[in-house]
Amino acid sequence: MRYRVDPGLYTIGDAGPDSPVFVTASYKMSFDLLRKALPGISAWVLVLDTQGINVWCAAGKGTFGTDELVGRIQSSGLADVVSHRRLIVPQLGAPGIAAHEVRKRSGFQVVYGPVRADDLPAFLKDGLKATGRMRTKHFSFMERLALVPMEIVPAVKGALPVAAALFVLSFFVSGFSAPRALGRTIVVLVSLSASIIAGAVLTPLLLPWLPGRAFSTKGFYAGLLLAVCALLLTGTLYHSNMAMVLAQLVSIPALAAYLAMNFTGASTFTSLSGVQKEMRFALPLEIGATAAGLALWIAALLMGG
Amino acid sequence: MRPLLYFSDVVTLTFDADKCTGCGMCLAVCPREVLRPSNGKVEVAWRDACIECGACRRNCPGGALKVKPGVGCASAMIDKMLGRKKACCVDDDSSPSCGQ
Ligand code: SF4
Ligand code: SF4
């Protein structure tokens, strides 16, 4: 679901010819964050058409870009309503905006504001100067916590059909006995839950403290920990059948590593080159180990474990 | 808290001091403190922190900074490999994200 603001020129408070001009994206939350950060300040807000996408992501795609900004300055008639020639553009929009080109093409000078809208009042007070801290993108525990639900939901969505399919499989193998099939499926459910907790919850939260640079490595260690917990929880269910134990020990860390790898996009310190490097070594291992875990589980099933 | 770092020595960032005029734009746009002032120009102080966002390259009038920009997002790359349309980035601006 996307929430949009119509592109164009808006006013906050009692904006006049001398009021500052802030540029933002047509994503409603970008617009609202900006407005909320400027209580009691009169200003112009120029909303660029980013198709409802936030500044950082739209800048990466180029929709929050030089062409759109120059075009929007013209179509909104900004030059006629303000007497100065200065725009405050969020720093996270810089990947899409070439300040020197904007100046050449529109006459407006781009000043990059702080990374976070919260810092805008201090930035304005300091005569449009951002401190090093305002210029840096952090990734705090709370920020990571806020992202956890977005990691869990798709993981659970992916896990449910798998659990259902494996239930059907064990139903057939166990001679159409629903209770026995259910027993086997519980092991699967516990394993999948352990993987999701390790990869989609623990890894994001414990990111700075888990060993390794690759997200997959971090997820692997979190998964190993959870695999041991899962074994303690379900071991009695299958009387310590060796194949089942191995299945859990192999697949939980592998799935956790895979889920952890998917957190690279939500994090704020990964690079495309780095993710390519990580995927080259980690993805085959993750797929291979998960397949091995599945094969072991099926073997345990056939052995009646 | 110690800053989070990804791999060492992977990013495509390059800097050509001969083309640098010392305008300082790259210092203003880099969200990772990769660059620092040096003798009226800049220098790469912390290359491993670079996330290849491309902000410095885009805003360098002299063309001194080069980087192959992109988003370090495994799920988008997997979606691309599977031929699915990339569902990227719906998040607030305080936590740039390429999540769901
Ligand atoms: S933006 Fe380019 S020219 Fe300006 S200081 Fe940085 S490297 Fe030098
Ligand atoms: S690409 Fe982005 S993170 Fe890397 S040096 Fe340039 S501005 Fe900084």
Instruction: Tell me whether residue A26 is in a domain.
Output: yes
Residues A223 and A168 in one domain: yes
- Structural domain including B75 reads 14-81
Residues A146 and A276 in one domain: yes
Instruction: Tell me whether residue B2 is in a domain.
Output: no
Task: Compare CB distances from A207 to B4, B77, B93 and report the shortest one's residue.
Answer: B4
CATH of the domain at B45: 3.30.70.20
Cβ contacts of residue A139 below 8 Å, gap of 6+?
A207, A267, A268, A269, B4, B95
- Structural domain including A152 reads 141-302
Question: What is the token pair recorded at A56?
Answer: 């950082």
Answer with the one of A135, A156, A181 that is the final residue of a domain: A135
Q: Does residue A302 contact residue A238 with C-beta atoms inside 8 Å?
A: no
* Alpha carbons A240 and A153: distance in angstroms, whole number: 32
Nearest to A290 by CA among A264, A261, A263, A258: A258
Answer with the one of A108, A135, A162 that is the final residue of a domain: A135
Instruction: Tell me whether residue A172 is in a domain.
Output: yes
Residues A178 and A91 in one domain: no
Instruction: Tell me whether residue B89 is in a domain.
Output: no
Residues A131 and A68 in one domain: yes
Distances from the Cα of B51 to the Cαs of A69, A300, B10, B55, in angstroms? Answer: 24, 45, 10, 10
| Position B91 pLDDT exceeds 60 | no
CB under 8 A, 24+ apart: contacts of B88-91 = B88/A53, B88/A57, B88/A61, B88/A265, B89/A53, B89/A54, B89/A56, B89/A57, B89/A58, B89/A60, B90/A1, B90/A2, B90/A27, B90/A53, B90/A54, B91/A54, B91/A57, B91/A147, B91/A150, B91/A266
Q: Does residue A45 contact residue A22 with C-beta atoms inside 8 Å?
A: yes
User: What is the number of structural domains in chain B?
Assistant: 1
Nearest residue of chain A to residue B70 (CA atoms): A272
Instruction: Tell me whether residue B7 is in a domain.
Output: no
Is the CB of A100 inside 8 Å of chain B's CB atoms? yes
Residues A186 and A255 in one domain: yes
Residues A72 and A107 in one domain: yes
Instruction: Tell me whether residue B1 is in a domain.
Output: no
> pTM (2 decimals)?
0.89
Q: Does residue A234 contact residue A189 with C-beta atoms inside 8 Å?
A: no
Residue A64: DSSP 8-state: S
Question: What is the token pair recorded at A69?
Answer: 């900004």
- Quick one: angle between helices A272-302 and A215-234, nearest 10? 20
Of chain B residues 41-70, which have a CB less than 8 A from chain A? 49-55, 58-59, 61, 68-70
The residues facing A25 across adjacent strands are A48
What pLDDT tens digit does each residue of chain A (305 aa) get?
A: 468 999 999 999 999 999 999 999 999 999 999 999 998 899 999 999 999 999 999 999 999 999 999 999 999 999 999 999 999 999 999 999 999 999 999 999 999 999 999 999 999 999 999 998 899 988 999 999 999 999 999 999 999 999 999 988 888 877 787 777 887 888 899 999 999 999 999 999 999 999 999 999 999 999 999 999 998 888 766 666 788 889 999 999 999 999 999 999 999 999 999 999 999 999 999 999 999 999 998 888 887 75
Instruction: Tell me whether residue A149 is in a domain.
Output: yes
Task: Give chain B as a DSSP string.
Answer: -PPP---SS----EE-GGG-----HHHHH-TT--EEEETTEEEES-GGG-----HHHHH-TT--EE-------HHHHHHHHTTPPP----S-TTS-----
| Continuous segment of H or E residues that includes residue A66 | helix A66-76
* Alpha carbons A139 and B4: distance in angstroms, whole number: 8
User: What is the number of structural domains in chain A?
Assistant: 2
Chain A residues near residue B45 by CB distance under 8 angstroms:
none
Instruction: Tell me whether residue B23 is in a domain.
Output: yes
> In 3-state terms, what secondary structure has residue A41?
coil
CATH of the domain at A86: 3.40.50.11600
Instruction: Tell me whether residue A1 is in a domain.
Output: no
* Alpha carbons A28 and A52: distance in angstroms, whole number: 7
> In 3-state terms, what secondary structure has residue A50?
coil
Instruction: Tell me whether residue A111 is in a domain.
Output: yes
pLDDT at residue B3 in the model: 75
Residues A263 and A226 in one domain: yes
Identity at A114, one-letter amino acid code: P
Nearest to A266 by CA among A118, A92, A143, A141: A143
Answer with the one of A107, A135, A163 that is the final residue of a domain: A135
- How confident is the model over B49-69, as pLDDT tens digits? 999 999 999 999 999 999 999
B79 pLDDT tier (thresholds 50, 70, 90): confident
Instruction: Tell me whether residue A2 is in a domain.
Output: no
Q: Which residue has the higher pLDDT, B8 or A180?
A: B8
* Alpha carbons B68 and A174: distance in angstroms, whole number: 54
Nearest residue of chain A to residue B25 (CA atoms): A99
Instruction: Tell me whether residue A74 is in a domain.
Output: yes
Instruction: Tell me whether residue B52 is in a domain.
Output: yes
Instruction: Tell me whether residue B90 is in a domain.
Output: no
Of chain B residues 10-29, which have a CB less than 8 A from chain A? 10-12, 25, 27-29
Instruction: Tell me whether residue A288 is in a domain.
Output: yes
Residues A116 and A177 in one domain: no
Instruction: Tell me whether residue B97 is in a domain.
Output: no
Any ligand 1 atom below 6 A from CB of B13: no
Residues A85 and A156 in one domain: no
Residue appearing with tokens 């906050």: A12
